[in-house]
Amino acid sequence: MTTETAATRVKSIDPRSLPRRFDVKEREAHWRTRWDALGISKHDKSAPRAASFVIDSPPPTASGSLHPGHVFSYTHQDVIARYRRMTGWNVVYPMGWDDNGLPTERRVQNYFGVRAEPNVPYEPDLNVRKRRKELGLDRDEQLVVSRGNFIELCHEVTAEDEKTYKELFNRLGFSIDWEEEYATIDDRCRSIAQRSFLDLDERGHVYTAELPTMWDVDFQTAVAQAEVEDRPTPGAYHDIEFGVYEAMQGEDGVPASFTISTTRPELVPACVGVTAHPDDERFKPLFGKHAVTPGFFAKVPIFPSEKADPEKGTGILMLCTFGDDADVEWWRTHDLELRPMVSRSGQASPRTFVGYNSEGAGWGSLDPRRAQFFYDQLLGLRLDEVREKIVELLSCPGTSAMTMLGVDVETEPPLKSEPRSIEHVVRYYEKGSTPIEYIPSRQWFVRLMDKKPLLQEVGAKVQWLPDFMEKRYANWTDGIAHDWAISRQRFFGVPIPVWYPIDADGEVQYDDYIVASNDMLPVDPMLAPAPGYEESQRGEPNGFLGEQDVFDTWFTSSLTPQILARWGENGDRMANLYPADLRPQAHDIIRTWAFYTIVKSALHDGDIPWHKAMISGFIVDPDRKKMSKSKGVVVTPIPLVNKHGADAVRYWASNGRPGMDMAFDETIFTIGSKLVTKLYNAGKFVLMQDAEHGDIVNELDRAFVNDLRDTVRRATDAFERYEFALALQITESFFWDAFTDNYIELVKRRARSEDDAQGRASAVATLRLGLNTLLRLFAPFVPTITDEVWSWTYAEETGYESIHQAPWPKMSADADIPEQYQLAPIDTPDSDASFQTACRAIAAVRKAKHEAKIGLGKPLARLQISGTDDQLDSLRLVESDVADAGGAAKIGYQSAATEDGYVAAVEGIE
RNA sequence: GGGCGGUUAGCUCAGCUGGUUAGAGCGCAUGCUUCACACGCAUGAGGUCGGAGGUUCGAGUCCUCCAUCGCCCACCA
């Protein structure tokens, strides 16, 4: 762009004609439109990798609620993006929506009152509200719809939710390139997620298996380790007596019974073993023997295990299918029976008991008839109901294992005492409300347990900002205890692109699964037949079965760098955009988003997904609790923007340093507003000084420019280290203290002087250079007000219609900017400190005037300043400006021996 | 129990690789309608830098221990 063409479009205006107040809302709307028209957020698609700065921005969960944390971390990204653009980078700043997954499904369920069932047929043009009315459904009754109809409703809801986010992002002036918008459920992302699966399959990193999997019984889906959280939950210890089989057989020296202590009595029917610590003298005689469970009379092995804690409960415990992680581990290592009693919906499933000598399937019992009688009372009950019922049953002497000793023995109930209430920590799915169960089910997994060294190595190649965040990643990676369960029994997600052959006997051959070919993507195996089959063969012998599960949403969102770079598509841009430069994100999702993204890039190409990860903190309540978790008032961002304006909100967010949590404190918004006002007024004042400008020759001016140069250098250094909050602070303090409070006050008379043409021209030039430079330093933070002031004259003078197209101030000669706004080095051999000298002297004058109760603006009859001889020599260089600013005609000098700095003595005019 | 981070003026936070009397903003007190700005300007009060040891000529800054707050992980019988 040249000055000539720009000048025809941008006309300077007279600052005197500007309104007294800056109308924030009106001008912000104006500038948003302007930036769109100028295309400041667009990137050059032909630019080579080395010229581009690629931001792997986080796609928000569209159905999640907006909170100040979004404003906080997304502002950080935008500040970096704007800075990088000004420093000449081809910034690629996309935005996506993470819309698939459970949050959306849950919102649809609540919003429309529907539930999807896999085998319900699709209905075109279904009007849910009308249908509910027709059926006369109550508010809390769910309408059952097909998978296809449910997905349609999900799309409807996410489209609305995305609008809300987009509005906020636009209101805040984020310089997102909306041409690079994507949604994790769209065709492109579905293809890339499925392509990722095909590639992992080809490399042997995925497998399917029927394994005990963490399961949420409400949502009826598998969950991954990263989605699990611990919650303190009330529970109760139940002391339950088990019999000892060998004692019943008359063996000597073996106790007849022992008592375990459990918080999960409902799992007694699923008991498959008993264990205690090998060194525990109390139970040594029991090892190698067998226990008999109360009520169900199963004969289960008793074995020693180092993992049992003698201090806990009674020191001896029962193992079930499956109470927790440890049960799964013991089941695997000790070759125990499998007795799953919990259904996928969290109820007691139908089970048959058989005698130990019987043929066929069933659970072995020493007394199958009685076991079945008791178990049938539990059938179909939810686990919490099962617990109550079991407690009731075990309170009857008839359930005692001791009854197996013989009819003559006087027996007592197996429940030895009233349950003892405790609070313990229980695993929950983070979005669920019922504890996790371990349920054997067929799932897909990505092998991680053998990849830890690779993941550590790749994670270490990423530069983490701040650097200690790397330890969080390393910690999590080190603590991985399971492979990644990637299949979810949900609807609104990316289908897993596999089919299973069905043999002639109608058996599904899960291990011989058929994967889609690359040219089929995206594909839904529930709708499309497997390669080589006809749709008519679906579900038939010698036919195929389509996988009905979808991927975990992280499976797709972990591919955001590849999605931007269109990995494997027509128009693949991997060479130009991959790996990305910067991954900005919050620290709570290091274990998920950052971790899985590294998993993907490490497994696909053995390398990093991005060079740097900039981790932002949280917004916390004044009481230091995570805001999203607090029970207090939820602050939504749009009203904040309405109240304070985008620049002020951005100012607030910019004060948060990477990695540091920030308390939500509304006074910071006020400070931001004040800065905006000050920039407006200082801009008006400086540009009103419209005498001709000339060379910067005056001593004070040259020293000021040197300090300005120093500010630019420090702010730039801070930005290069991603310490934008520091850059802002450096700029702000120079603007406020040095520029408006001191420099402007020192030269405002000279800038209008009638008799010092050279000094006047120097002051005007310096004022304009100072404002021009400071505006550019502020531009990434407060884009509206800086562009507003820029537009008054700088747009025309420089040819940059928007400040956001202008270059960042450089310390060396800069051909991109008119000479009068360059910060070329200034040779000031003996007066580097002149500006500081003048500031200190004028401060002394102000203090003296204050103490003498003379108004600051009042003229002085006499002004005397004392200091050491050196100090006075230095002051002489800037004498006239200091005298002017102090309101005196001249300065009297008084030599002082002590180095207390300048001290002024003043006399007012009568 | 393990890891990480914080603990500096009433409040929110800066203090880089250790170096003179520890900084900012808000709040507070006092004064000023100075022709850009009262969403302003000026002046001032206010801190034994969580505690205890140690290294050093010298520590808010380094080391050790402790306390406390937060986050993540482990603990789930």
CB A43 within 8 A of CB A52: yes
The mean predicted confidence, pLDDT, of chain A is 91
CA A710 to C1' B36, whole Å? 26
- Listed in sequence order, the residues at least 6 apart from A420 whose beta carbon sits closer than 8 Å to its beta carbon are A236, A237
What's the pLDDT tens digit per position in A686-724? 999 988 888 999 989 999 999 999 899 999 999 999 999
pLDDT at res. A631:
45
Residue A885 has pLDDT above 50, yes or no: yes
Tokens of A143: 């309408």
Would the Cβ of A145 be found within 7 angstroms of any atom in strand B? Answer: no
Would the Cβ of A427 be found within 7 angstroms of any atom in strand B? Answer: yes
What's the pLDDT tens digit per position in A2-17? 444 444 466 788 888 8
pLDDT at res. A588:
87
Would the Cβ of A468 be found within 7 angstroms of any atom in strand B? Answer: yes
Chain A 68-127, CB < 7 Å to strand B: none
Would the Cβ of A856 be found within 7 angstroms of any atom in strand B? Answer: yes
pLDDT at res. A667:
87
Would the Cβ of A184 be found within 7 angstroms of any atom in strand B? Answer: no
Q: Which of A153-162, A356-365, A599-608, A879-888 has the lowest mean pLDDT?
A: A356-365
In percent, the amount of chain A with pLDDT more than 70 equals 96
CA distance A293 to A319: 11
Would the Cβ of A225 be found within 7 angstroms of any atom in strand B? Answer: yes
CA A748 to C1' B5, whole Å? 48
- Listed in sequence order, the residues at least 6 apart from A101 whose beta carbon sits closer than 8 Å to its beta carbon are A61, A488, A490, A492, A493, A553
- In DSSP notation, A707-724 reads HHHHHHHHHHHHHHTT-H
Residue A197 has pLDDT above 80, yes or no: yes
The complex scores an ipTM of 0.94
Would the Cβ of A235 be found within 7 angstroms of any atom in strand B? Answer: yes
pLDDT at res. A622:
67
Would the Cβ of A726 be found within 7 angstroms of any atom in strand B? Answer: yes
Instruction: Give the model's confidence band at A629: pLDDT under 50 very low, under 70 low, under 90 confident, else very high.
Output: very low
pLDDT at res. A388:
95
Over the range A673-699, which residues count as b (16 or more CB within 10 Å of their CB) and which as e? bebbebbbbbbbbbbebeeebbebebb
Residue A258: phi and psi, rounded to 5, are -150, 165
CA distance A871 to A887: 21
The larger pLDDT score, comparing residue A603 to residue A896, is at A603
The nucleotide closest to A847 (CA, C1' atoms): B43
CA A290 to C1' B1, whole Å? 34
The nucleotide closest to A466 (CA, C1' atoms): B5
CA distance A572 to A211: 38
Residue A339 has pLDDT above 90, yes or no: yes
pLDDT at res. A626:
60
CA A111 to C1' B9, whole Å? 51
CA distance A692 to A314: 93
Three-state SS for A892? strand
What's the pLDDT tens digit per position in A831-847? 567 898 899 999 999 99
CB A655 within 8 A of CB A634: no
pTM for this entry: 0.92
In percent, the amount of chain A with pLDDT more than 90 equals 71
CA A584 to C1' B47, whole Å? 37
Tokens of A179: 């041409």
What's the pLDDT tens digit per position in A635-657? 788 989 999 999 999 999 999 98
pLDDT at res. A101:
86
pLDDT at res. A634:
62
The nucleotide closest to A308 (CA, C1' atoms): B77
Instruction: Find and list the nucleotides of strand B having atoms within 7 Å of a protein beta carbon.
Output: 2-5, 11-15, 24-26, 31-37, 39-44, 69-77
Would the Cβ of A658 be found within 7 angstroms of any atom in strand B? Answer: no
pLDDT at res. A627:
60
Would the Cβ of A665 be found within 7 angstroms of any atom in strand B? Answer: yes
Tokens of A258: 């022992």
The nucleotide closest to A264 (CA, C1' atoms): B77
Helix residue spans in A433-506 (DSSP H): 452-461, 469-478
Would the Cβ of A210 be found within 7 angstroms of any atom in strand B? Answer: no
Residue A630 has pLDDT above 90, yes or no: no
Length of chain A: 910
What's the pLDDT tens digit per position in A24-73? 888 999 999 999 999 999 999 999 999 999 999 999 988 777 888 889 99
Give the count of alpha carbons within 13 A of A381, CB side only: 15
CA A899 to C1' B56, whole Å? 30
The larger pLDDT score, comparing residue A754 to residue A529, is at A529
CA distance A878 to A717: 31
Backbone φ/ψ region at A853: left (φ over 0), alpha (ψ -120 to 50), beta: left
Would the Cβ of A644 be found within 7 angstroms of any atom in strand B? Answer: no
Would the Cβ of A721 be found within 7 angstroms of any atom in strand B? Answer: no
Would the Cβ of A626 be found within 7 angstroms of any atom in strand B? Answer: yes
Query: How much is the average pLDDT of A107-124?
Result: 89
Instruction: Give the model's confidence band at A830: pLDDT under 50 very low, under 70 low, under 90 confident, else very high.
Output: low
pLDDT at res. A431:
82
- Listed in sequence order, the residues at least 6 apart from A82 whose beta carbon sits closer than 8 Å to its beta carbon are A175, A779, A780, A783, A804
Query: How much is the average pLDDT of A783-806?
Result: 96
Query: How much is the average pLDDT of A424-453?
Result: 91
Chain A 248-287, CB < 7 Å to strand B: 260-264
